[in-house]
Chain A
Amino acid sequence: MTWIKDVFDPKARRWEELYRDRWQHDKVVRSTHGVNCTGGCSWGIYVKDGIVTWELQQTDYPTIDPEIPPYEPRGCARGISSSWYIYSPLRVKYPYVRGALLDLWAKAKEKESDPVTAWASIMRDEAGRRRYQEARGKGGFRRVSWDDALDIVAASTIYTVKEHGPDRVIGFSPIPAMSMLSYASGARFLQLLGGVTLSFYDWYSDLPPASPEVWGEQTDVCESADWYKSAFIATVGSNVNMTRTPDAHFLTESRHAGSKVVVFSPDFSDVSKHADWWVPVNAGQDAAFWMAVNHVILKEFHFERKPAAFLDYLKRYTDSPFLVVLEKSKEGYTAGRLLRANQVSGYKSEENGDWKLLVYDAKAKSLAMPQGSVGFRWQERKGLWNLEMKDASDGREIDPLLTFLEDNDGILQVDVADFAADRGLKRGVPFKSVKLSGGSKALVTTVYDLLMAQFGVSRGLEGDYPKGFDDDSQPFTPAWQEKLTGIGRKTVISFAREWAETAERTGGKCMVIIGGGANQWYHTDLTYRAVIASLMLCGCVGKSGGGLAHYVGQEKVAPLASWSALAFAQDWVKPSRLQNAPSFHYVHTDQWRYEGPYSAYYSVPKESPAEHTIDVQVRAVRAGWLPFYPQFNRNPMEVFRDAENSGAKTDEEKAKWVARQLKEGKLRFAVEDPDAPENWPRLWFIWRANALLASAKGHEYFLKHYLGTHTGTVADEVAKGSTKEVTWREESPRGKIDLVVDVNFRMDTSALYSDVVLPAATWYEKSDLNTTDLHSYIHPLSPAVQPCWESRTDWDIFKAIAKRVSEMAKAHLPAPVKEIVAVPLQHDTADELAQPSVKDWAKGECEPIPGKTMPRFAVVERDYTKLYDEFVSFGPLARRDGLGAHGVHWDVSDLYDELARRRPFTFPDGRKLPSIEDAVDAANTILYLSPETNGEVAYRAFKSEEAKVGVALADLSDEGRKTSYTYDQLVEQPRRILNSPVWSGIVSGKRTYSPFTLNVERLVPWRTLTGRQQSYLDHEYFLRFGEKLPTYKPKPDAASLSELGKSDGRKGIVLNYLTPHGKWHIHSTFSDNLRMLTLSRGLEPLWLSVKDAGSIGVKDNDWVEAFNDNGVTVTRAVVSARIPDGACFLYHAPERTISVPKSPARGYQRAGGHNSPTRLRLKPTLMVGGYAQFTYSFNYWGPTGVNRDTFVVVRKLEGEIRW
């Protein structure tokens, strides 16, 4: 082959300039993707001749430690295809309004020159209103000028505020962290207006309710570099490769560094490739596996071997030693509430005695009251809210007894529920008798002893205990779980042994990476609690390389305190109207009307009455557990006026007047009659979201009841007769919403169905900030080019709307107006002590006391003519009240003044306030006032926390005290966040962020009832629903969900319908991007197993129809051996705008999207409030929008494909 020559000759190679020319570029600009993604990857955007050409990753993250793999490069196929959007045919380049509405508007404007009056005339024209509502989603867009679009939007806003009340204006945008200013733009506008901001984390079913339940924490997880420190990683329903693409290398690298990886996933998912063991647990049955794991750990380690480290950990950091009162039940005893300090004579007069819990001190052989429970957090005397092992009354050292097995007053047979077999069991538990202050006696045991009984570890005690691991007649043995999980007992046993042994050898370096595959089921909290138990029992939580790493939608706004103040306009007005979206949509889209009592699909103890979820929802609002907007059946401005006219002078008197009106039924909560026109939401702003499809569980009900356009649901409304608290209206309303405004850069499903579409800048055209919890850096978005065509940044769009609203207000709302804002009891405030027991004032069980037994009613004043001025300046409340988050507060007055000096905005009254006119100013304001980005603030925050907790903490701010980041610095290079008491991890030195290390190492309590990790939940609802301890409950089956009544399963095959996060999109973003569509199959297909596909005659790439009574979706099939029988996968989330044909099952109407077959089902236990960690906070607590308990009929598409 001598004729293959190396060529050096420059002449022969002059053509090589061709590719060099193509590579040439003019500049590289740092930005990222503000989509709903946890990546938080810093990108270089390449610009050539003023055009964005492509992007490649920035790789300059500061090194944490050369002995752990670096964070470079970060990114994924989706992010790198982002530049496609900018000049694509999907780009929204101009404002659009639907023609049917525009015609009405033009006509109205001919008659009425005033835009608000013109809008009012359209709203009064019922036929016209119906006409444009029915046209929604059916084409007919017309390009309009920004001026005209803003006129419509502002007129509708003013009209709605005046006519119905500001709490009829709602807004939705998800997960702020990835572009926090864009989120803040709309949220700030809404809160200045008095509108409603809808939550996202719970709505997406990404909030793991077990986290608030166990830790009093929304979610706090380790950064991905911490995986490297683990010795044993179990992934549970988390497809790391696919959904944590930039981080996945830490998993493989951890493996190479000697850790073991076990993957739990029903399908052979991408991450299974990295598994030492792949354990294909049946979909949705993980809880059964982990319950049995705990059985083995408790038996072999806790009972037999007793590793000192495990026992010591449980004593210090969990509720295991706390005492529970055993109450007489029908034929034995049942575990009731935790023993309260004020129940016994020694501690009777304790402040907050209902909220201080007791243990049995092995040293003194007597009851003891450890420091740190929630009662100490909110008492007058500070400094006792910590985890030192001391009795709070006299400071003596204590050694809480974990079990009464050796030292007891006898054994009692205690009830244990076996929900899988639908039966009750009795298991022996050792008890002690303690004297109560009234002279009576209580029989108590420890949480630890109850755990042993619950998990079925007999320890030689009598009762319905299993005989060994092979006994499958009793829960929760390895043999017992086989039928549920499909996994053999041997696997459970060896897994549990290796798990606990590894934890013992490494000091807790066992980690569970868990995600949507476990979290999006009805019983997610039970699954998580079973998993968390295995971590607690082996001392893994709060350890670097250990603990629960929940990754689904959990992004973290690192500078939370200053950001929240700015985003929710709390610098100008408090409180905010923050609504949990699952409750909101369940009620307002009327999905509650399509189901009967929850007992059909939810296993609850027999003695628990069968109720309808809507009734629990109504009671939760009444009791101040959950927010609900609109608040009342009247405009809250009107309610204020009436209160004033009644003679109520102070704000407190007005609140009392409102409470009285409610009690007397003269005023009603809107939730009690959601279908009455005065209670509908009216105007909806959607930005950086796909609220009408991607996240819309029960999408077809959104189309029907919100939009009033075509729908794919054929389900019957069946709730009549089974509800008590809610008014049943025979005819359900269609088209509740007057106007949907979508701010978007691409024509997605939500844009297509909206009335007004405003062109938004992409992520390469604006300034913003980005953080995530997958890494510990903060970095910016910055503009590579100006916003193209007529697009504007979100910040500028909401500024423009605010300006137009202010202008129109001069005629319509010229003077400041006051109104009543109803808010629920709040987490991280003394409201956590509001309701030691559940009482309903509406039933006369207690008095209606605002802020105690019902919501708080606050009086606020708004000047709509100043809306714009307030928007663009950082208001004085921040200076007056300081800032804070998660119960930590600090003063910022001097820093505020400094900001006002640097960049002043002159308010109409002459005051100089810090300007946030420009998004960069807003970014700098955020960076300057939060501990994570300004070391001086960190110092103040730690000092203030020290005083509350009573242990030294401020040294944690030493390393970063002189650091203060600015936006420009971040543009230069990403920077690492600083230690902050707002979060529970530590990042100084070479540490990787790991949650709860602050609790374990510095003895700061968890924000729970006992101040410890809580495995026993003694709220009345958890007792009543049989979920006080970790347990297993059957997942709802196809029959119990009753959504196949009109969808004949014989026409195809009935399959569990799963929508896990996919490979070619981040939710729906990128799903319509040509790059991703080309690398997949040109659409989002339905994955079927070989056997299931064969049974309905479907071959790979055939068109299929998947439907139930809720709706239908049509796509092509992928037939793969990777998929288990009995389930089909439609990866989240395709657009119904791309390649969706018509559906034969619905008479050749356009088929729907992935959320068409879903319908909301809320879990009642997640609605409770006013009780320690069970106290509402936005995106922290409340029922979640679960979606995996869904079944569809799948069949081959009949006949020709029609477009």
Chain B
Amino acid sequence: MKINCEKIAKCLLTAVAFSALLSLLLIAIFIFKEGFPFMLKVGVSDFLFSSAWNPQMGQFGIFPMIVASLYVTFGAMLIGAPLGVAGAIFMNEFLPRPAMRIIKPTIELLAGIPSVVFGFLGVMVLAPLIRNHMGGPGLSILAASVILGVMVLPTVISISTDAIGAVPHSYRDGALALGATRWQSVHMVTLKAARSGIIASIILAMGRALGETMAVIMVAGNTVKIPHAVTDPVRTLTANIALEMSNATGMAREALFATGVVLFVVIMILNAIALSVMKSRGGRR
């Protein structure tokens, strides 16, 4: 009976190992099945590049949402990437070990704060600040960028920290022995060696910012219009799906799945780039 048990275990484990890949395929198939025929029906270029979104009137152009998602993601990176990378460098290179042991987990806890809480703080604290000092409704590209920038910090910091930590100590020691200051050794040696990991962390963070939904709905203002200033309210691709999902049927629902297709494809491309960048680093060593 022993041998039987072994065989069953192996078969079961092999089957189970497919679960993640199978889920990914199921998700892709169902999102495409619901959304892609609709895109062909409306016309791919009309869907992507028309600015008229009015599901009741049969107008399905998501161009303003694409622009909004790009602006908000880009803004989030302007804030999150420099802050995150700076934090990672400082913690790895300039902070004594005991201090790092406290600060790093503290920052990782930032990742655990639910996105709705970030969104709520954006509404209660950030939006009034923007409204009073810069004009506009407050709920805006700027508010969404700041909130998302803070939300992606843990992603940037933890992956960059790992990349910087993986640089062999001999590199650093070599630079220091040649008479470089600490900072010279960091920006001439360590950062060059950890470059691909840092880039990967920023690309993954872009994916997170692009895909974030609830926080963005709360702070971005949700107006379907091509923005002209950072204080203008916008509606992102993700917000568009979540806002109209609860009462959409028929064509309108298919349009939301088509929006999901666009989001899915862009994020898969970003992930693939990040993964291959991280892998190429492993290959070179």
Bound pair (A, B):
no
Binding site for A on B (CB under 8 A): none
What is the interface of chain A, defined by CB distance below 8 A to chain B?
none
